[in-house]
Amino acid sequence: MTVAKVEWPTLALLVATYGLWALGVSWAAALWLPLGMICVALAAVQHSSLCHEALHGHPTRLRWLNEALVFPQLSLVIPYGRFRDLHLIHHRDENLTDPYDDPESNYRDPAVWVRMPAWGRAVLNFNNTLFGRMLVGPLVGQVFFMREDWRAIRGGDRAALRAWLVHIPAAAPVIWAVLAADMMPLWAFCLATYAALGVLKIRTYLEHRAHEATQGRTVIVEDRGLLALLFLNNNYHVVHHERPGVPWYRLPALFRAERAAFLGKNDGYYYRSYREIFGKYLWRAKDPVPHPLWPKDEGRA
């Protein structure tokens, strides 16, 4: 029988995350509601990042155990099974930023873009600023995500249907715990959870760019602050895409050891910190919504 190797920093952080969430919906909310909401939001962000670790084979070698450890869905709206399956498709690097084949792409097919109503283009243009991505990005992303999953389910995708059915017992106990604690109003909990989804959009905002070369599409944000912890160093994103089996706490050292090589591979797609990103893109878009390199004759909509 193979003994599972446990990555203890990840397991310890998972325990702390559940503890912070429980503290947020109970004692902290009773002491001061905004404090409780901050705790809930931070815990939900951290838990989402831990779900990302789990789907890549952490903190043990046992898939069923990793998935059991992150089973309660603190962020409520994305079934873990769909996150896992779609994210692993996203890791087919040759398709990064493809409006159709990369499920995490924020680019649209130019042929689809020109047919969109003016209000739809305005929403997506606003969503392409960092402020917009944080404010309306969770809602915009959820609408597109659920639309595509509904199409998949209607088309007979049993994996998608199964993931949503499993999501019910994963999310229901979270809501029950909030109601049972009776210290945080449900509206405050929902607002804190939405805020967590907005924070997560900071990480995904510019993880990938349109670039002719596959390896030039993935960013490095050399940040070691609170956001880097909440994102579990996924800001070293080209390192993660190159070595997805490496646990989060080893990514910074791995980048430092091979800094020149990684920056050469991604054609210098680099930011010093999230502070720099906020300064550049809080109020303006980094990219156009229609894919700037998309061939005009390859629309599939």
Q: What is the mean pLDDT of residues 182-187?
A: 97
**Domain ranges across the chain:** 8-281
With a cut of 70, say whether residue 94 has pLDDT above it: yes
CA atoms within 13 A on the CB side of 212: 0
- Report, as an integer, the average pLDDT of 132-141: 98
Over range 70-80, report the average pLDDT: 97
% residues pLDDT > 90 (the chain): 96
Specify the pLDDT at position 298.
52
Burial level of 287, CB count in 10 A (0-12/13-18/19+)? Answer: middle
pLDDT band for position 295 (cuts 50, 70, 90): confident
Mean of the per-residue pLDDT values for the chain?
95
Q: What is the mean predicted confidence (pLDDT) over 280-300?
A: 85
- Mean pLDDT of the region 144-152: 97
Cβ-proximal residues to 83 (8 Å cutoff; 6+ apart), any chain: 51, 52, 55
pLDDT for res 5:
86
Q: Please say if the pLDDT value at position 3 is more than 90.
A: no
Size of the chain in residues: 301
pTM for the predicted model, two decimal places: 0.95
Q: How far is CA 117 from the centre of its chain?
A: 28
Q: In this structure, what is the dihedral angle of CA atoms 261, 267, 273, 275, given to the nearest 10 degrees? A: 180
What gap in Å lies between CA 108 and CA 290, rounded to an integer?
5
Predicted confidence (pLDDT) per residue in 191-224, tens digit: 999 999 999 999 999 999 999 999 999 999 999 9
pLDDT of residue 1: 33
Which tokens in the block code for residue 297?
Answer: 């004759």
Q: State how far the alpha carbon of 221 is from the alpha carbons of 157, 212, 234, 236, 251, in Å.
A: 36, 21, 9, 6, 12
Specify the pLDDT at position 300. Answer: 55
Kindly write down the DSSP assignment for every residue of 247-282, as one continuous string.
-GGGHHHHHHHTHHHHHHHTTT-EES-HHHHHHHHS
> Each residue of 80-90: pLDDT tens digit?
999 999 999 99
pLDDT band at residue 296, thresholds of 50, 70 and 90?
low
> What does the pLDDT read at residue 4?
47
Q: Name the residue among 203, 243, 263, 188 with its Cα closest to residue 36.
A: 188
